[in-house]
Chains A and B, each alone.
Chain A
């Protein structure tokens, strides 16, 4: 019962944060609230027994994401423009998609059901084999690094490529891109001033 109460409380905090993000026009406040959202999500992950995921969400979502978005604001603008007209179309589209998704959940297994497919196919196997074959207490690490090592290597490659992409787009100290940036944008700014 307390579990459900904690989950519901966290959930209502999450929804009010999300609605505040949708309504506010100060981008600084939006970024700070998205950090709050990540911390609340991390608490919810702990309530659902996913300690590794909670750790990652707190470090990545609340830490790095906020820094990056603040960096973007510093390079672009602080306020969102006032919308020219309000339209009901997005609200209707979102409502229809949400109704379909909820219809899709009606035959999902119940929350915490020990007979759900997630719990019966691979889970007992991994839990039984980890102490015998790998002998590390953290089953998540065993699956991540050993049983699914190939998959994790692909994920690391994706992170690597994303880092290269950011460096090519806005990084680099010198070289062609930086020179061209100085010539075009900075000279335009000087002309305005």
Chain B
């Protein structure tokens, strides 16, 4: 898309605020609408927008393929790991009350960590799916759209 000057300039301006908004949605999910599922998608959307406008190879140099699979697994492991930690502390699986001395603080920490796990996995899955579709040789030329 080298010939679309307006798209390129606007994308450059938009990517950083979209990433920031993704972080806001991730960590503000306890207080307003939002949470890991939405934040993961919004974070992936910023990178996908960059990839669509500036080309897949430039996106790959910023965010390499091997990181996608690592993040994908790491998010789910983080979620399951919180359950294991609460087991070690003597509670039930995924019982956040025992994570910290105060039950309410434990709940807050537990929710933030598992939402982070959800966000990382959803982000990784969306990037893996996008790389899968965009990485194939297209049957329609760019100018035919």
List residues of A whose CB falls within 8 A of some B CB.
Answer: 28, 51-52, 54-56, 59-60, 63-64, 67-68, 71-78, 133-138, 140-142, 144-146, 149-150, 152-153, 156-157, 159-160, 162-164, 166-167, 169-171, 173, 186
Contacts and interface: CB of A to CB of B under 8 A. Distances in A.
Interface string B116-130: 011001101110111
Interface string B95-113: 0100000011001101100
A185 to B, nearest CB: 9
6 contacts: A56-B41, A67-B48, A135-B104, A152-B118, A164-B72, A167-B131
Contact of B34 (A55, A75, A164): A55
Interface of chain B: mostly helix, strand, loop or mixed: helix
Interface of B: 25, 29-35, 37-38, 41-42, 44-45, 48, 52, 65, 69, 72-73, 75-76, 79-80, 83, 93-94, 96, 103-104, 107-108, 110-111, 114-115, 117-118, 121-122, 124-126, 128-140, 144-145
- Top 6 nearest A-B pairs by Cβ distance? A163-B125, A71-B133, A171-B132, A136-B30, A51-B33, A149-B94
A161 to B, nearest CB: 9
Contacts of A55: 25, 33-34, 38
Contact of B33 (A138, A156, A170): A138
A109 to B, nearest CB: 26
B40 to A, nearest CB: 9
Contact of B72 (A140, A160, A173): A160
Contact of B121 (A54, A159, A167): A159
Nearest to B117: A156
Contacts, number: 151
Given A150-B94, A160-B76, A56 B115 contact: no
Given A72-B133, A138-B33, A166-B132, A78 B48 contact: no
B135 A137 contact: no
A159 B33 contact: no
A135 B73 CA distance: 30
Nearest to B33: A51
Contact of B139 (A74, A140, A142, A170): A74
Contacts of B136: 75, 170
A167 B128 contact: yes
Contacts of A137: 30-32
B83 A153 contact: yes
